[in-house]
Each structure stands twice: as structure tokens, then as C-alpha cells.
């Protein structure tokens, strides 16, 4: 046996212990802590631990808002304020990294021991989502070329053709009702991002399955069973990426990943950086837009007059998409860590403290959006929402997501003007992402 094989065998033998350590420190302990906070009446604890509250969080957001723009909670500081979230996102006194230096030794040990590149998710370094400059700048610069307004606009004909094809297939379905998430809202984003990343579209059902399991790793406090499913999905995804990179190194195409795997020596990404970057693009590319599309259809179905007005004047779709992003944001929260002691909203936030930004609540802040609980596709300032975050981590795919949503919703409305929700839509059991697991519709 070579020394490499010995270390591989040791890695494999240690895997269950590592996985258990990762789960315990990232999910088991936070779950216990949040549940205890919830029992003591902590509102954020309830938001995180109570599925019914999570499914309909807006009343709880208002209770939190009544406590002031920045309040202490079981998750550290939390804000529902648009102004405070906006300030934190744009401030270089806050970063995305967690400060582990102050954590108790056993926790630091478990984090280090549990570290496993083969099961890393999109919310773990070196994913650009959770690293600060200068690494963040380096990663973002390498990929942003594929997301310029010009590159995005150039993909419109392909997005339109994909939407048309999926809606043709939908029309051939003989069932009385179809699941619009499964048949359309989930398929379009995965096909679009697969194309951009040169990924074979035949594998899209695999991505959807893996993505659905792995999306939960964005949430704190996952039960062990769901964590293990996510762990398996992430390992399968990394395995697929290894094959994909090898294929593109041998035969590069015109896509973004081909560029990334063939960078000159001085710029090249390490294997772990490459995995983190492509995994994020792939996951962010389809795990979020599906939620925007599902949320849009449910809201428009409940506000039929507004849907009919959009059918009559499709120029309104851009504004309608902004209002859906504001009113029922597909990413409900994010967080930042203070890099030094900071004054924020009249409070002293200590270096290393975490501030949770409830984007879904900031987007209903009455200081910015009059009558925020009213869904109005003609709202003049809907675009001021923070659904795509802000500052240096502002969503790289925002333009692409907007375009996909406008094309998808406009085409769906043209093709099936009498489409109706025909049954109870099921929410996904997630905290950070907000969307539907299934959405039964009758095509009319
Ligand atoms: C409706 C759809 C989408 C929503 C609501 C959304 C939302 C977000 C949010 C809130 C963030 C920043 C989180 C933070 O500040 O902590 C983000 C970052 C990001 N998104 Fe999106 N996203 C969407 C679609 C997409 C698409 C289609 C892509 C394409 C690949 C994408 C790629 C990214 C990337 C790469 C980042 C990390 C940017 C950075 O850290 O610099 N997203 N997204």
C-alpha cells in the first residue's frame, strides 16, 4: 500500500467521526440552544425552531420590529430594519467570516477536526459567499465576466427557448393538475445555469435532487437525519464536479468552468477553491430562482386582477418581479460579523458579534415601503428591496435571475392565461430560503 493509499484509508475510516463532529458543532448545539431560547420566549428562537412560524414569519417579524431596529436574540443581534441592514451590508466594519478565536476550545477542535473538503457546502469557506477581501475580490473577479449585463442579455434567446420547450411539455401532460415547481419552476433555472457552466443537462434531475438536500445546510440546527442526507448529496456533487473538471481540462469549451479550469499558473484556483466556486454558482443558480417563480405564481393567483393587468400589458413584468422579490423574498436572511467594536442603531456591537439581517423583514419596513403588507406590482420603489443583499456580496446572478423570472412568468401567462393554483401549495421546510416544495396548478 502506498503512503497515499494509507492516508486515504485513514481519511475514510475517520469520516463518520468527522461527520458527527461537524453536525454536532454546526447543528446539534445550535439546535439545542435555539430550542431553549424559543422555550424562554425568544422570538428568533421561535422563528428558527417552529415550523408553523417559519412558514408564515411575517407576523413575528412585526413583533421583532416593535422591539426596535436592532435587538438582542438567541442568534446574537438581529435586525428587521431596512436602514440598518443596508448599512451593515455596505460597511467594511462588518465581514462575512465567523470569528472562531473566542469559541471554547472543544468547539474550535470540533470545527477543525470536522472540516472535510469532500462534503463542504456553499456556506463554508472558501465559497465567495463567506470569505472577505482580498480572497473575495479574487474569486468574484474571476467569475463576474459571465454575469455582466451584456452577457446576461445575450442569454435571453436561450432562456426563452428553454421556457417555451418546458411549457410545450407541460401542455402535453394529461393530468388534470400538474406540479408547477417540478415541471417548470425548478427545471428552467437548472437548465440555464447548466448551460452557463457547461454541465451536461442530462444530469439535471441529479442536481435538483442534490440541491434540494444540500440547501438545508444554509440553516442552523438541522436534525441529524437531514444533515446526513445533505452530506451525501454534497459528496455526490463534489464527485460529479471532479469528473466535470477533468472532462473540461481535456476538452475545454466556451463556458465559464472551462475558463476556470484552464487559468494560467499565477491565477489558478486550488482544487478546493474551484469546487467551492463552481458549487456556489451551480447551487445559487437554481436553488433560489425556483423559489422566486413559485412565490410569484402563488401571489399572482391570489391577486388575479394584477395578473390580468400584466397579461394585458407585459411591460409591467419587470416591476412585478421586483414586488415579488420584496414581498416574499426567496432568501429571508443573512448575517455579518463585526470586525471591531461598532456603534449600530444606537447599540454597541462588540468585535466578533454576529448580526442577523432578516432581509424578508427589511423588505417590509414601513419606513421605506408604505403599506408594506400590500402586494402591488406597480409599487414605484419595489426595487429598493434587499432581496439580493447589498455591498460587495450583492448577488452576482441578480440580473440573470430577474431575466429568467420575467421570461418565465410572461411566457407562462401568454401560454396558459387561465392557469390557476389547484390545491394546497406546500412550503419547503427551510429557514434561509423561502419557496414552495410543490405547487399544484390547473392549466385551464
Ligand atoms: C431569485 C433568485 C436569487 C436570489 C433571491 C439571490 C439572492 C442572493 C443573496 C441574498 C446573496 C447574498 C447573500 C449575502 O449577502 O450574504 C446572493 C449571493 C450570490 N448569488 Fe444570488 N440569488 C439569486 C439568484 C442567483 C443566480 C441565478 C445566481 C447565478 C449563478 C446567483 C449567484 C450568486 C453568487 C455567486 C453569490 C455570491 C456573491 C458574493 O458573495 O460576492 N444568485 N444571492
pLDDT tens figures, 127-140: 999 999 999 999 99
Q: What is the pLDDT of residue 204?
A: 85
Whether residue 18 is predicted with pLDDT greater than 70 in this model: the reply is yes
Please name the residue whose Cα sits nearest to atom 3 of ligand 1. Answer: 288
In this structure, what are the phi and psi dihedrals at residue 436, rounded to the nearest 5 degrees?
A: -110, 140
Q: Is 284 a pocket residue for ligand 1 (Cβ < 6 Å)?
A: yes
Give distance in angstroms: CA of 442 to centre of ligand 1: 31
pLDDT beyond 70 at 176: yes
> Strand 420-421 and strand 440-442: pairing?
antiparallel
Which residue lies with its CA nearest to atom 13 of ligand 1? 389
C-alpha cell at 113: 477536526
Distance 288 CA to ligand 1 centre (A): 8
Question: Which residue lies with its CA nearest to atom 18 of ligand 1?
Answer: 395
What's the pLDDT tens digit per position in 394-410? Answer: 999 999 999 999 999 99
Average pLDDT over residues 209-237: 92
Find out whether the beta carbon of 257 lies less than 6 Å from any atom of ligand 1.
no
Burial 358-387 (b: 16+ CB within 10 A, else e): bbbbbbbbeebbeebeebbbebeebeebbb
187 within ligand 1 shell (Cβ under 6 A): no
Tell me the C-alpha distance between 94 and 109, whole Å.
Answer: 25
What is the predicted pLDDT for the residue at 3?
47
At 227 the pLDDT is 93
Q: Which numbered atom of ligand 1 lies nearest the CA of 139?
A: 41
What's phi and psi for 279, nearest 5 deg? -60, -40
Q: In the predicted model, what is the mean pLDDT of residues 70-97? A: 96
| Residue with CA closest to ligand 1 atom 2 | 289
Contact 388, 394 (CB under 8 A): yes
Residue whose CA is at the smallest distance from ligand 1 atom 1 = 289
Atom of ligand 1 nearest to the CA of 390: 15
Does the structure show a pLDDT above 70 at 82?
yes
CA of 398 to the centre of ligand 1 (A): 7
Pick the CATH number of 3-442 from 1.10.630.10, 3.30.70.3340, 3.30.70.980, 3.40.50.720: 1.10.630.10
d(CA 216, ligand 1 centre) in Å: 16
Nearest of 163, 213, 208 to residue 182 by alpha carbon: 208
pLDDT of residue 6: 56
Mean pLDDT, range 106-119, rounded to an integer: 89
Determine the distance separating the centroid of ligand 1 and the alpha carbon of 243, expressed in angstroms.
25
d(CA 405, CA 407): 6
What are 343-362's pLDDT values in tens digits? 999 999 999 999 999 999 99
Q: 424 in the Ramachandran plot: left (φ > 0), alpha (ψ -120 to 50) or beta?
A: beta
Residue predicted with more confidence, 7 or 262: 262
Q: Percent of the chain beyond pLDDT 70?
A: 97
- Give the pLDDT confidence score for residue 201 in this predicted structure: 84
Contacts of 266 by beta carbon, 8 Å cutoff, 6+ apart:
none
pLDDT, averaged across the chain: 93
Copy the grid coordinates of residue 273: 477553491
Distance CA 317, CA 402 (A): 10
**What pLDDT, on the 0 to 100 scale, is given for residue 128?**
97
95 lines ligand 1 (CB under 6 A): no
**Res 7: pLDDT:** 63
Which atom of ligand 1 is least distant from the CA of 128?
40
User: What pLDDT, on the 0 to 100 scale, is given for residue 99?
Assistant: 75
- CA of 292, closest atom in ligand 1: 1
User: Which of 24-33, 96-105, 135-144 has the least mean pLDDT?
Assistant: 96-105
Q: What does the DSSP 8-state code read for residue 433?
A: B
Residue 334 in contact with ligand 1 by CB distance below 6 A: yes
Categorise residue 76: left if φ over 0, alpha if ψ from -120 to 50, beta otherwise.
left
E strands, 233-353, in order: 333-338, 342-344, 347-349
Q: Convert the pLDDT of each residue in 139-169 to its tens digit.
A: 999 999 999 999 999 999 999 999 999 999 9
Distance CA 410, CA 413 (A): 5
pLDDT greater than 50 at residue 4:
no
Asked whether residue 323 carries a pLDDT value surpassing 90, the answer given is: yes
Q: How far apart are CA 121 and CA 124, in angstroms?
A: 6
The best mutation among 255, 273, 395 to test binding of ligand 1, ranked by most ligand atoms within 8 Å of the C-beta, falls on 395
The answer to whether the CB of 285 is under 6 A from ligand 1 is yes
Over range 289-293, report the average pLDDT: 97
| pLDDT above 70 (res 45) | yes
Amino acid at each position: 500500500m502506498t503512503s497515499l493509499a494509507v492516508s486515504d484509508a485513514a481519511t475514510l475510516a475517520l469520516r463518520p467521526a468527522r461527520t458527527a463532529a461537524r453536525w454536532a458543532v454546526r447543528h446539534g448545539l445550535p439546535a439545542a440552544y435555539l430550542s431553549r431560547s424559543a422555550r424562554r420566549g425568544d422570538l428568533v428562537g421561535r422563528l428558527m425552531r417552529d415550523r408553523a412560524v417559519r412558514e408564515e414569519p411575517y407576523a413575528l417579524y412585526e413583533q421583532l420590529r416593535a422591539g426596535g431596529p436592532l435587538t438582542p436574540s438567541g442568534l446574537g443581534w438581529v435586525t428587521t430594519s431596512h436602514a440598518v441592514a443596508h448599512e451593515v451590508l455596505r460597511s467594511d466594519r462588518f465581514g462575512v467570516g465567523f470569528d472562531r478565536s473566542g469559541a471554547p476550545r472543544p468547539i474550535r477542535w470540533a470545527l477543525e477536526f470536522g472540516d472535510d473538503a469532500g462534503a463542504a457546502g456553499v456556506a463554508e469557506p472558501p465559497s465567495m459567499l463567506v470569505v472577505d477581501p482580498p480572497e473575495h475580490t479574487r474569486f468574484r473577479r474571476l467569475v463576474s465576466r459571465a454575469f455582466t449585463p451584456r452577457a446576461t442579455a445575450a442569454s435571453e434567446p436561450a432562456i426563452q427557448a428553454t421556457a417555451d420547450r418546458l411549457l410545450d411539455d407541460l401542455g402535453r401532460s394529461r393530468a388534470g393538475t400538474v406540479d408547477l415547481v417540478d415541471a417548470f419552476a425548478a427545471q428552467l433555472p437548472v437548465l440555464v445555469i447548466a448551460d452557463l457552466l457547461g454541465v451536461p443537462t442530462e444530469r439535471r434531475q441529479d442536481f435538483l435532487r442534490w440541491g434540494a438536500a444540500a440547501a438545508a445546510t444554509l440553516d442552523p440546527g438541522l436534525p441529524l437525519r437531514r444533515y446526513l442526507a445533505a452530506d451525501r448529496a454534497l459528496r455526490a456533487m463534489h464527485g460529479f464536479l471532479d469528473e466535470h473538471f477533468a472532462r473540461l481540462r481535456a476538452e475545454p469549451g466556451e463556458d465559464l468552468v472551462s475558463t476556470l479550469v484552464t487559468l494560467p499558473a499565477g491565477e489558478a484556483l486550488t482544487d478546493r477553491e474551484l469546487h467551492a466556486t463552481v458549487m456556489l454558482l451551480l447551487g445559487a443558480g437554481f436553488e433560489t430562482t425556483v423559489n422566486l417563480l413559485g412565490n410569484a405564481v402563488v401571489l399572482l393567483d391570489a391577486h388575479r386582477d394584477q395578473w390580468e393587468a400584466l397579461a394585458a400589458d407585459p411591460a409591467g413584468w419587470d416591476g412585478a418581479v421586483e414586488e415579488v422579490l420584496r414581498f416574499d423574498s426567496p432568501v429571508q436572511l443573512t448575517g455579518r460579523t463585526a470586525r471591531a467594536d461598532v456603534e449600530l442603531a444606537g447599540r454597541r456591537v462588540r468585535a466578533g458579534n454576529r448580526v442577523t439581517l432578516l432581509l424578508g423583514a427589511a423588505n417590509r419596513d414601513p419606513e421605506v415601503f408604505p403599506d408594506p403588507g400590500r402586494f402591488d406590482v406597480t409599487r414605484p420603489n419595489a426595487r429598493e428591496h434587499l432581496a439580493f443583499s447589498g455591498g460587495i456580496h450583492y448577488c452576482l446572478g441578480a440580473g440573470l435571475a430577474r431575466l429568467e423570472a420575467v421570461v418565465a412568468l410572461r411566457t407562462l401567462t401568454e401560454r396558459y392565461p387561465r392557469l390557476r393554483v389547484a390545491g394546497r401549495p406546500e412550503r419547503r421546510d427551510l429557514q434561509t430560503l423561502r419557496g414552495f416544495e410543490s405547487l399544484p396548478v390547473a392549466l385551464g
